[in-house]
Amino acid sequence: MSRALVTGAAGFIGSHLCDALLARGDDVLGVDCFTDNYSPARKRANLIDALAAGLEFRRLDLSCDPLDPVLKGIDVVYHLAGQPGVRSSWGDDFNAYARRNLLATQRLLEATLRAAGPRFVFASSSSVYGNTGDQPAQESDRPAPLSPYGLTKAACEELVAVYRRVHGLSAVSLRYFTAYGPRQRPEMAFASFIRAVLSSRALHVLGDGHQTRDFTYVTDAVAATIAAAELGAEPVYNISGGTSSTLLGAITQIEQLTEQSALISFSPSARGDAYRTSADLTAAERDLGYGPKVSLREGLALQIHAAKSEPVELAEAVA
């Protein structure tokens, strides 16, 4: 049994990671500062199962609060906290991205060094690649982010790499490709699409709907994250669902699974949104034994079931 620190524990992937670590018998300390990028009530609800299973939780702002106390006795740091979202990272809002991504990561790296260097796992993003073109992105490809958000993730990866090179920190970064599933942030595509279809409201697609994504079900992302903590030898790994789909193709599956028609409206593409993402998983398969277990259709069915079971007050928070 190991003792793990999970930052961003109340978030989408973070809360699922806490559940998985606790289920296998790890001792888990979760921290989160409950930023207002979406309803804190939804974030608190994300932690219900983990708290019941023994999660130790502290409310903490990584960008300014003392960090040494939460690193005591920690074997693995899973750093999933950060300011998410491509579209809101432009303009004056960039300050939040600089503080909650770059500064928070640098302070946590320093605290990890002072704690005699636990294993450090950083949650990065496929946004560092920008458009991946005709060939799946490889970890050796030059980052070319299309948004300030993607830039901060690329910069955080470089920070982690600096501490790995200069201080010998045992660290790895994971580039998640469009994670989805229960507890997904409410503004993300599948969460908003499913909510719209179930309530017979207009479903808003930015762009022509033919943009493709390599969608990754959340439990696959979590399994890869734990494997990376234990087995990852390379500095960076792609983590994806292994197959791509257009947005319109995913919407068709949502219609079939809900037996309801989508009322689709189209708007111009948002600044910073990549048109195509696709991951080469060779390194993750080789080193982590990673292979996606959940198909897009299976994952959508699970997310739809969760949305139907969601308490009314949480559904109304984003209606």
Is the distance from CB of 108 to CB of 79 less than 8 angstroms?
Answer: yes
Q: How is residue 152 annotated by DSSP?
A: H
Q: Which of 149, 163, 217, 237 is catalytic?
A: 149
Structure tokens at 211: 């943009």
| Residues linked to residue 121 through DSSP beta bridges, in sequence order | 78, 172
Using DSSP's 3-state secondary structure scheme, residue 274 falls into coil
Inter-CA distances, 269 with 214, 288, 299, 314, Å? 18, 36, 26, 28
In sequence order, which residues have a C-beta less than 8 Å from that of residue 104 and are 6 or more positions away?
61, 62, 63, 81, 82
> Within 13 Å of residue 264, how many CA atoms lie on the same side as its CB?
18
Q: For residue 78, indicate whether it is catalytic.
A: no
3-class secondary structure for 296-311?
HHHHHHHHHHHHHCCC
Give residue 248's identity as a one-letter amino acid code.
L
Rounded distance, CA 56 to CA 53, Å?
A: 10
Rounded distance, CA 95 to CA 105, Å?
A: 15
Is the distance from CB of 32 to CB of 49 less than 8 angstroms?
Answer: no
Give the catalytic positions in this structure. 149
